[in-house]
Structure 1
Amino acid sequence: MDGNDLKPTGKCPVMHGGMTARTSAVMDWWPNALNLDILHQQDVKTKPGGVAFNYREELKKLDVEALKADLRALMNDSQDWWPADWGSYVGMFARVAWHAAGSYRASDGRGGASTGNQRFAPLNSWPDNVNTDKGRRLLWPIKKKYGKKVSWADLMILAGTVAYEVAGLKTYGFAFGREDIWHPENDTNWGSEKEWLAPSDGRYGDLDDPASMDTPLAAVQMGLIYVNPEGVNGQPDPARTALHVRETFARMGMNDEETAALTAGGHTIGKCHGNGDAANLSPDPEAAPVEYQGIGWLNTKGRGIGRDTVVSGIEGAWTTNPTKWDMGWFEMLFGHEWELKKSPAGAWQWEPVSIDENDMPVDVEDPSIHRKPIMTDADMAMKVDPIYNEICQKFIADPAYFDETFAKAWFKLTHRDMGPKSRYLGPDVPQEDLVWQDPIPAGPTHYDIGHLKAEIAASGLSAAELVATAWDSARTYRGSDMRGGANGARIRLAPQKDWAGNEPERLARVLAVLEPLAEKAGASLADTIVLAGNVGVELAAKAAGHDVSIAFEPGRGDATAEMTDAESFDVLEPLADGFRNWMKEDYNVAAEELLIDRAQLLGLSAAEMTALLGGMRVLGANHGGSRHGVFTDRVGALSQDFFSVVTDMAYKWNPTEDGAYEIRDRKTDEVKFTASRVDLVFGSNSILRSYAEYYAMDDNADTFVKDFVSGWVKVMNADRFDLALV
């Protein structure tokens, strides 16, 4: 290439496709390889402000009332490029917020609105999220104005809440505190389907048994938030749909009353859009050409706005006054008989058999024209299902009760994944403690920690018992929705005290020793359990020749049974724990994949996971005293022995008939140890082996102990938001 000529004369210096999704990644070549990417998500390098940015500090500078005033003005400030229905955006922003929050599932706490993940694929391009991209673009001038002082995650939910207020609802409250991510959550399991809206059959054992849906999924089809509005697999049948609605909302953490309230209230404002052919829409945002600037689903053969908008394919409003909060949904659904019809886009919808013109909603552009209202199959389910019908009749008889129930359910929907109330910020945080927030009282801090540690050390409990009990108490934490953890000592309450993974007999024996020690010292049991684990680690480190004093912050409280929604804690039960080499039963998912999933929920990196697992093995902390992976002759000492053995080619590794492995001496063929898949993956996987080799090196004994302790403290303090938020 001539220095004065910008025209290329040779091959492109960049490999074509190397920087796009077309590139062949490791998982493309070896699809069965263990994928560790989920442990590397949301690295600090993806955040524009890096570690120095503190969103909570920025929030203190936010003029909340000015922000809400700007949002209220936006609700009725129709813009030329995307006109509002009836001159109001209340339906648009209620939907943006609903669809941001509605991806939450209680099973693993993933999804939801607390990260602003609706901005990224795949959620930004899900078929169910059609035109939410327009809502975010409408919000952009406000986001630009307030900048770092409000996150996208907070802004989207606040916009939906303000929309309901503008419509006339007295909302329950609002909390700031959601911090944006800056990279897609690529490794969240949204389903195994390879096409949008693939038939539901693949994610159910039996489609007629909604409870047979694959865990951890909650939505019925790939690309939907919850259920198909046309019916199961697009086939209308309100009674059948009701069963799927019940299961889906239960998996979102909602009971029947909350589900009925959200369905009714969600459809009290706004409308469905299907007045055209969806085949004429441009690609979704992620697939759109660059000149579309991230906007998708534009009509290529018509206006595609106003009365010609296509979203779900269903066409029409639910109520007579779709921009007003009222009892119109109930009056419409229960005041008419309904029949199946097809929308202009060809979607199934229910329309009234007979209705006065004055009861019809008017056209979104021309108020002189009246349009027939509609109901989806999910709406009809509220009338057909006897349980939902009874709840709706209660709401009809007491509109004020409906208002209150919906307001609280909306608050729960939009705040469920934020964690405890201590993380809530802003002037509109409700004072009431709600049981789904997992309330925990403040614990004592002024007691003699050193004396309590000495009492624990002299208690006769082994280091393995102390470590296992503390670990079991803390390992329930999941960073996806900030639930679980050691704070609250709920391990002593139902249902946790009876979980198989907690070894109820061993747990009861250890707690029987620790409880009187805690009471005598004036400490909470939650603190005492963690402190006991620390004592166990310190003793193990000393046995390996290392003097360690683990940092400890008192202040955990003890929750009561009344503060604990036992049913909602069922989803936190560990069904496998690779750190303690245990699986409740055989699953279709490999044990090492379950280990990585647990590590990610605990907020651990691959290196932290490696150090903790290797240390737990040599401490003898396996579930039920299993010897798998205990690659040491000095059990109870925090040594490098696990890593030394798993990287040592003096051994060979033979599978056994029961699914375990024998570690045999290559020269003598003597069985030296036994192992599980989880143990061997630290020698077989190239990434994990690199960490195992690091911790096996002769000059890294101190580093291993330091890293184990660091990872241990991280897990023990994962739910100490009172420390993290200072």
Structure 2
Amino acid sequence: MSEDKQQASGKCPVMHGGVTESGASNTSWWPEALNLDILHQHDTKTNPMDAGFDYRKEVRKLDFDELKKDMHALMTDSQDWWPADWGHYGGFMIRLAWHAAGTYRIADGRGGGGTGNQRFAPLNSWPDNVSLDKARRLLWPIKKKYGNKISWADLMILAGTVAYESMGLPAYGFSFGREDIWHPEKDIYWGAEKEWLAPSDERYQNVDKPDTMENPLAAVQMGLIYVNPEGVNGVPDPLKTAEQVRVTFKRMAMNDEETVALTAGGHTVGKCHGNGDADALGVEPEAADVEQQGFGWSNPSQGGKAGKAVSSGLEGAWTSEPTRFDMGYFELLFGHEWELKKSPAGAWQWEPIDISEENKPVDADDPAIRHNPIMTDADMAMKMDPDFCAICEKFMADPDYFRDSFARAWFKLTHRDLGPKSRYIGPEVPDEDLIWQDPVPAGNTNYSVETVKEKIADSGLSIADMVSTAWDSARTFRQSDMRGGANGARIRLAPHKDWQGNEPERLAKVLNVYEALSAETGASVADVIVLAGSVGIERAAKAAGFDVVVPFLKGRGDATSEMTDIESFEPLEPLADGFRNWQKQDYIVKPEEMLLDRAQLMGLTAVEMTVLLGGMRVLGTNYAGTKHGVFTEHEGQLSNDFFVNLTDMKYKWVPKGRNVYDIVERKTDAVKWTATRVDLVFGSNSILRSYAEVYAQDDAKEKFVNDFIAAWAKVMNADRFDVQ
């Protein structure tokens, strides 16, 4: 073929073998294969920071006062390339922070503003995030100035908080400490839809029953942060919308009062943008070509004026003074009757039937022009839903209470995924302990670890009891929102103590022993639980021929029921735990996929997951003592037998029933062991088998023990933010 023909055909004339096209992957040939990528997110190779860089140390060097001064100046420094509404970027920056934090969902703790993930796809290109690419670019000069002492994650949330301050609402508080990621979180499940804003019916069993929305989702449609502002599936009906609002905000850990406060406080300032043809907008940032400079949604009709912007499609401000935090939202919503109209972009919105000229907000560009205020269907829900309306009336009767309620709700919204208060950094951290921060009192350290270990060893508890209880206490940790874990010993409190996966009857007997030891020695129950796990592992390792000491950090505290928001903790209940070979019931999702999900939430790598599961099997920690996957003649010894026998070709695997297999000797057809899919995936999946083979080797016995202990200590200490 000639060179001209090569060029004309669009083929690259240079030979190369790298797959660089987005969405292309060698593994796409096998869509049903187990995808371990979720355990490999944020590989160090994606991180541009120097080895040893610690943002949480660097941010403490920040000149907080100077940063706040620059942030306040930014709010009214309107730029020609993207002019501010009314010369004030406050509403824009609030939307930026809100849409970063608002992706949080309590079911799995994923989403939220804690990682700066809005910089990457898919969030940077969600339809609900139209033009927020410009908000981030407006912040760039400040990020450039302060460099690595301020993360994008902190900066975006701070922008919204400072915006409220500049509009008259003092902040309840603010914490730094959010660490940036450097790669898209492609493995977060945002929904199964294949198109933006597909009808919300696709994620509900029954769209008329909002609580039937698929878990762990919270937003009603793909590409939205919360609910459709025009109504359910774009059809106005405030009472139906009210129910979607209620469920969506509940799935973000908000009650009705917080929901109303956030809605009213959020819509007290700023405006909606829909003054143009939405169909004329260009493609989103991830689809835009290079000359767009990373921007998306180019608007041919904007002409450099903010008043011509299109984002939600609705057009107008909610209040008469959109750059001032006041009671104007309630005054307009309840002071007028409203009717449905269409915005210039063709979106449904509510406008007042009769309003005086002086009560209309002025144009975002030209103060000589006034427009009708508007309300979304969700705003009308605040007025028409009886429960929401009663809360609005409470706020209207006490403006100070409303301001305080909103400031607290905003703080919760923007800090919910930051974790416990011990992770907070900066001069504006509130003194108050809030129940949603999962407070844990400081634990006693004035006791003898060796004395406690001796008493545990003499307690008569089995290795399985000691290791299982410690695991069950610690496995609730979620790196997604830094909740759960062994600190606080909430396994002894409701609802944890009654969860099926914790074997309540067995647990109660073990806890009776630990509570007596705690009272006798001065160690917290939380410390005793974790220390007992160490005793069990050390005993099992010694039986296998290795004299080891499991690392232990004392000082955990014991939470009380008064410190525990029971409803908020319900989503932490495990529905499956492959490490203990248990699941609550059969699910559509494969057991091995549920194992990966739990391992990722716990912050484990694929190798750590592998060695922990193999060790847990030989220690006999299966739920209710089942023998599935216990591939050893020496149960209770910390040996590599699980991997040795899993990879031994003298056995074959024979399906026995749903998720159960017989491990059969090829020569005799005798059943040697039984197993589940979670066991056998470590011998069948090519990547996991490669790890299993490492631990099955004759020279791997000591490495297996050391690696198991290191991974175990990581799990036990994952929530020790007080010493990290």
Q: SS of the counterpart of 2:416?
A: helix
Look up the equivalent residue of 2:20 and give its one-letter code: M
Q: 1:351 to 1:435 in 2, by over 3 A?
A: same
Cα distance in 1 for residues equivalent to 2:99 and 2:323: 19
* Cross-structure match for 1:135: 135
Look up the equivalent residue of 2:432 and give its one-letter code: E
* Cross-structure match for 2:53: 53
Q: SS of the counterpart of 1:652?
A: strand
Look up the equivalent residue of 1:507 and give its one-letter code: L
Give per-residue Cα distances to partners, 1:377-428, cap 9 Å, x unaligned: 1111111111100000000000000000000000000000000111101000
- Greater shift, 529-538 or 653-662, is seen at 653-662
1:302 positional shift = 4.4
1:659 positional shift = 3.2
1:564 positional shift = 0.7
Cα distance in 1 for residues equivalent to 2:403 and 2:47: 40
1:573 positional shift = 0.4
* Cross-structure match for 2:697: 697
Q: SS of the counterpart of 1:86?
A: helix
1:326 positional shift = 0.3
* Cross-structure match for 2:492: 492
* Cross-structure match for 2:20: 19
Contact 1:172 1:408 survives alignment (8 Å): yes
Contact 1:433 1:439 survives alignment (8 Å): yes
* Cross-structure match for 2:94: 94
Give per-residue Cα distances to partners, 1:214-240, cap 9 Å, x unaligned: 111111111111111111111111101
* Cross-structure match for 2:595: 595
For the pair 1:339 / 2:339, whether they are aligned, the reply is yes
Cα distance in 1 for residues equivalent to 2:395 and 2:529: 46
Cα distance in 2 for residues equivalent to 1:304 and 1:128: 21
* Cross-structure match for 1:225: 225
What TM-score do the two structures reach when normalised by structure 2? Answer: 0.98
For the pair 1:362 / 2:362, whether they are aligned, the reply is yes
Look up the equivalent residue of 2:185 and give its one-letter code: E
1:17 positional shift = 7.5
* Cross-structure match for 2:201: 201
Cα distance in 2 for residues equivalent to 1:638 and 1:16: 44
Contact 1:298 1:304 survives alignment (8 Å): no
For the pair 1:353 / 2:353, whether they are aligned, the reply is yes
Give per-residue Cα distances to partners, 1:566-612, cap 9 Å, x unaligned: 11000100010000000001111111111001101111100000000
Cα distance in 2 for residues equivalent to 1:231 and 1:17: 46
* Cross-structure match for 1:168: 168
Cα distance in 2 for residues equivalent to 1:136 and 1:22: 26
For the pair 1:676 / 2:676, whether they are aligned, the reply is yes
Look up the equivalent residue of 1:334 and give its one-letter code: F
1:72 positional shift = 0.8
What TM-score do the two structures reach when normalised by structure 1? Answer: 0.97
Look up the equivalent residue of 2:717 and give its one-letter code: N
Contact 1:278 1:345 survives alignment (8 Å): yes
Q: SS of the counterpart of 1:339?
A: strand
Cα distance in 2 for residues equivalent to 1:375 and 1:406: 19
Look up the equivalent residue of 1:65 and give its one-letter code: D
Q: SS of the counterpart of 2:128?
A: helix
Look up the equivalent residue of 2:138 and give its one-letter code: L
Cα distance in 1 for residues equivalent to 2:240 and 2:320: 28
* Cross-structure match for 2:459: 459
Look up the equivalent residue of 2:38 and give its one-letter code: I
* Cross-structure match for 2:649: 649
Look up the equivalent residue of 2:26 and give its one-letter code: A
* Cross-structure match for 1:275: 275
Cα distance in 1 for residues equivalent to 2:678 and 2:47: 32
Look up the equivalent residue of 1:255 and give its one-letter code: N
Look up the equivalent residue of 2:491 and give its one-letter code: I
1:249 positional shift = 0.3
Contact 1:86 1:365 survives alignment (8 Å): yes
* Cross-structure match for 2:4: none
Q: 1:315 to 1:526 in 2, by over 3 A?
A: same
Cα distance in 1 for residues equivalent to 2:12 and 2:353: 68
* Cross-structure match for 1:238: 238
Cα distance in 2 for residues equivalent to 1:50 and 1:680: 39
Contact 1:438 1:564 survives alignment (8 Å): yes
Give per-residue Cα distances to partners, 1:678-724, cap 9 Å, x unaligned: 01111111000101111100110000011100000000000001221
Instruction: Show structure 2 runs of 5+ residues with no match.
Output: 1-6
Q: SS of the counterpart of 2:169?
A: coil
Give per-residue Cα distances to partners, 1:513-568, cap 9 Å, x unaligned: 11111111110000000000010111111111111111111000001111111110
Cα distance in 2 for residues equivalent to 1:70 and 1:14: 50
Look up the equivalent residue of 2:257 and give its one-letter code: E
Q: SS of the counterpart of 2:672?
A: strand
1:290 positional shift = 0.4
Give per-residue Cα distances to partners, 1:314-338, cap 9 Å, x unaligned: 1111000000000011011111111
* Cross-structure match for 1:147: 147
Cα distance in 2 for residues equivalent to 1:131 and 1:100: 13
Contact 1:197 1:221 survives alignment (8 Å): yes
Contact 2:544 2:638 survives alignment (8 Å): yes
Q: SS of the counterpart of 1:341?
A: strand
Cα distance in 2 for residues equivalent to 1:25 and 1:343: 46
Q: 1:17 to 1:637 in 2, by over 3 A?
A: closer
Q: 1:182 to 1:339 in 2, by over 3 A?
A: same
* Cross-structure match for 1:575: 575
1:304 positional shift = 6.1
Look up the equivalent residue of 2:167 and give its one-letter code: A
* Cross-structure match for 1:480: 480
Cα distance in 1 for residues equivalent to 2:583 and 2:498: 16
Cα distance in 2 for residues equivalent to 1:136 and 1:516: 55
Contact 1:17 1:23 survives alignment (8 Å): no
Give per-residue Cα distances to partners, 1:169-214, cap 9 Å, x unaligned: 1210100010111111110011111111111111111111111111
Q: 1:500 to 1:67 in 2, by over 3 A?
A: same
* Cross-structure match for 1:105: 105
Look up the equivalent residue of 1:193 and give its one-letter code: E
Contact 1:341 1:348 survives alignment (8 Å): yes
* Cross-structure match for 2:447: 447
Matches within 5 A, 1:322-471: 322-471=322-471
* Cross-structure match for 1:4: none
* Cross-structure match for 1:159: 159
* Cross-structure match for 2:257: 257
Percent identity, please: 68
Give per-residue Cα distances to partners, 1:417-466, cap 9 Å, x unaligned: 00011110100000000000000011011211111101101110000000
Look up the equivalent residue of 2:609 and give its one-letter code: M
1:56 positional shift = 2.1
Cα distance in 2 for residues equivalent to 1:305 and 1:562: 53
1:45 positional shift = 1.7
Contact 1:44 1:51 survives alignment (8 Å): no
Look up the equivalent residue of 1:339 and give its one-letter code: E
Q: SS of the counterpart of 2:511?
A: helix
- Greater shift, 91-100 or 304-313, is seen at 304-313
* Cross-structure match for 1:300: 300
1:23 positional shift = 2.6
Q: SS of the counterpart of 2:663?
A: strand
* Cross-structure match for 1:514: 514
1:305 positional shift = 3.4
* Cross-structure match for 1:611: 611
Q: 1:17 to 1:46 in 2, by over 3 A?
A: closer
1:646 positional shift = 1.4
Cα distance in 2 for residues equivalent to 1:522 and 1:131: 57
Q: Which runs of 4+ in 1 moved over 4 A?
A: none
Contact 1:134 1:295 survives alignment (8 Å): yes
Look up the equivalent residue of 2:283 and give its one-letter code: P
Cα distance in 1 for residues equivalent to 2:15 and 2:356: 66
Matches within 5 A, 1:701-720: 701-720=701-720
Contact 2:305 2:365 survives alignment (8 Å): no
Give per-residue Cα distances to partners, 1:158-177, cap 9 Å, x unaligned: 11000000100121010001
Cα distance in 2 for residues equivalent to 1:221 and 1:529: 43
Cα distance in 1 for residues equivalent to 2:301 and 2:416: 41
Cα distance in 2 for residues equivalent to 1:59 and 1:717: 23
1:12 positional shift = 3.4
Look up the equivalent residue of 1:138 and give its one-letter code: L
1:300 positional shift = 2.8
Q: CA RMSD in A?
A: 1.4
Give per-residue Cα distances to partners, 1:479-535, cap 9 Å, x unaligned: 000000000000000000000000000000001111111111110000000000010
Instruction: Show structure 1 runs of 5+ residues with no match.
Output: 1-6
Contact 2:270 2:323 survives alignment (8 Å): yes
